Amino acid sequence: MIWLHALLVICGFGVAMMLRPWRMHLRDGPPWPWLLWCLALPPLWSADRLTEVSLVQPWSGVYLLTLMAGWPLTVLAVLPVTAMAAVLGHLSLEEALQRAVWLGLMPATLTLALGAAVRSLLPQHLMVYILGRGFMSTFLAGVVSGAAALLLTGGSAALSDTDLMLGRGLSAWGEAMLTGMLTAVLVAFRPDWLCTYSDRLYLPR
């Protein structure tokens, strides 16, 4: 399984590199808000090790980062975030790669796909962006990522698969609530911090 995780990380990183997302930030450098958010991710990814409390699924945090920075830059950020989380939490290579995929690459990719579906299938309205992309996409991406991780990597000896998915669903709900609230705040006060948002598209004419 370690080779599958490594292959997924390499493929995701390669695609992100080919898109060259840094071109739009050459003049001013990357925006500091999402760099600051990137620094908050390693403690989230290694929270179970730092607190010595078993978690059914650590929070990902990449849902908001994808809305702020876009998919390619988020995927590029997965590598340094994984490295810092591995150092903080004393993770093995296999554990670090597993978190890179199921807390980083997969949630970011699902956020991109669900965001594209919201944009194409639902009316282009402010509340659709906040609730659809900020809340529902985060929740669905979290649940699907948790279910896929359970299917491919196995469950926990201490919990049944049903209990584990219930816990992951509740974790995804909590992160969706936080992401939705922060998205609403950013849309109201700092819409330029969201690269996936545009007044032209989402404000009623």
The DSSP result for 53-119, as a single string, is ---SS----HHHHHHHH-HHHHHHHHHHHHHHHHHHHT--HHHHHHHIIIIIIHHHHHHHHHHHHHH
Distance CA 31, CA 102 (A): 25
Altogether, the residues listed in the chain come to a count of 205
Nearest in space to 101 (alpha carbons), one of 148, 35, 33, 169? 148
Domain that holds residue 189: 2-16+30-202
**Does any domain span residue 115?**
yes
User: How many independent structural domains does the chain possess?
Assistant: 1
Task: Classify residue 24: in a domain, yes or no.
Answer: no
pLDDT at 28: 62
Q: What confidence score (pLDDT) does residue 48 get?
A: 87
How much is the pLDDT for 29? 57
* pTM (two decimals): 0.90
103: pLDDT strictly greater than 90: yes
Which amino acid, 24? M
Instruction: For residue 126, tell me if it sits in a domain.
Output: yes
